[in-house]
Amino acid sequence: MDEDTALRAVALCCPPGGSLRIQFTGGEPLLKLELMEAVASFGKDTGRRLTLSVQTNGTLLTPDTCRRLKAIRCGVGVSLDGVDEANRLRVFPDGTPCYDVVVQGIRNLGETGMRCGLTAVVTCVNASQLGQLADLALYLGNVAGVGLDLFRPLGRGAGQCLSTTAEDLTAGLRKLTTKTKAFEAAGIPFRFRELERMRKRKASPVCVETYCYAQTSLSFAVDGRGDCWPCSSLAGRAGFCLGNLRDGLPEKNCKANDLAAPKTCGSCPSFAQCLGGCPAGRVENGKNDPLTCVMHRVLAASEK
């Protein structure tokens, strides 16, 4: 993405004086740190209140990069699937494991006074070991929490068969929820994103029918060409482009109906807490991955 495209996206989405949340994602967005800084400066210079975050693979978190991220007040999410071997799908292009480099990057953030979140893709490699993510957070000391994305055969995962089993997912989720609750009991700040969302929905069961912003017209993912998509997981997916910034901002998400919760979810007792799960995950075959139900039911059971 060039600077013109990035600033055009910000200008179209947010008037001067307004507020906008921006997540830089990729690819690897830290390859374009100067573009992120240009966006931050543009917001400051034009009176737009921008809340910035970056989702990174963590391999470029040098001390200097951490300082620059801190200077633009950019939140950091690091993609990491577990400890050491559980992370073996994340490698450099030459096949070298990146785990040690990523852990050093998180330490560099800590030395700059920054915390980060971890985002793990749940696959057949790491599912039964999800509890390790909580151990790692405790060990590193500057990890605020963990979020889970079930593996989807989209983007770089296209054509791969890395889904886990219901048994392994259940075992891994139980370990992670048990550790999360132990941290809570000990007063250790740690957020397990999916559990927290479920608790929030349970505490205030307002009539919300959307799982995420991809099903609304409140956010868009913008790619390097200025094409707009319902979310970054669907970027490049045939039939899901909402338009290009050169024609202005898409007026609404014309794909929202395609991303609505499946009808079968309507009669599910977990619907109020689950809201049908990630819509991008069912684009491939039109129905939910059964693991979506497993995840939400295991989390719901852990709260009883």
Query: What are the residues binding ligand SF4 (CB under 6 A)?
Result: 264-265, 268, 270-271, 274, 276-277, 288, 292-293, 296-297
Query: Are 90 and 102 in contact, with CB atoms under 8 Å apart?
Result: yes
Q: How far is the CB of 122 from ligand SF4 (least distance, A)?
A: 15
Closer CB to ligand SF4, residue 190 or residue 211?
211
Closer CB to ligand SF4, residue 62 or residue 264?
264
Closer CB to ligand SF4, residue 138 or residue 300?
300
Q: How far is the CB of 276 from ligand SF4 (least distance, A)?
A: 5
Q: How far is the CB of 203 from ligand SF4 (least distance, A)?
A: 18
Q: How far is the CB of 274 from ligand SF4 (least distance, A)?
A: 3
Residue 135 CB contacts under 8 Å (≥ 6 apart), including other chains: 83, 179
Separation CA 163–CA 167 (nearest Å): 12
Distance from the Cα of residue 297 to its chain's centroid? 21
Closer CB to ligand SF4, residue 239 or residue 269?
269
Separation CA 171–CA 189 (nearest Å): 23
Q: How far is the CB of 197 from ligand SF4 (least distance, A)?
A: 12
- 5 backbone dihedrals φ, ψ, rounded to 5°: -65, -45
Query: Are 151 and 122 in contact, with CB atoms under 8 Å apart?
Result: yes
Closer CB to ligand SF4, residue 108 or residue 288?
288
Peptide bond into 18 cis (omega under 30): no
Is the Cα dihedral 252, 270, 281, 85 positive or negative?
positive
Separation CA 260–CA 28 (nearest Å): 29
Is the Cα dihedral 88, 93, 95, 99 positive or negative?
negative
Q: How far is the CB of 270 from ligand SF4 (least distance, A)?
A: 4
Closer CB to ligand SF4, residue 117 or residue 281?
281
Query: Are 126 and 79 in contact, with CB atoms under 8 Å apart?
Result: no
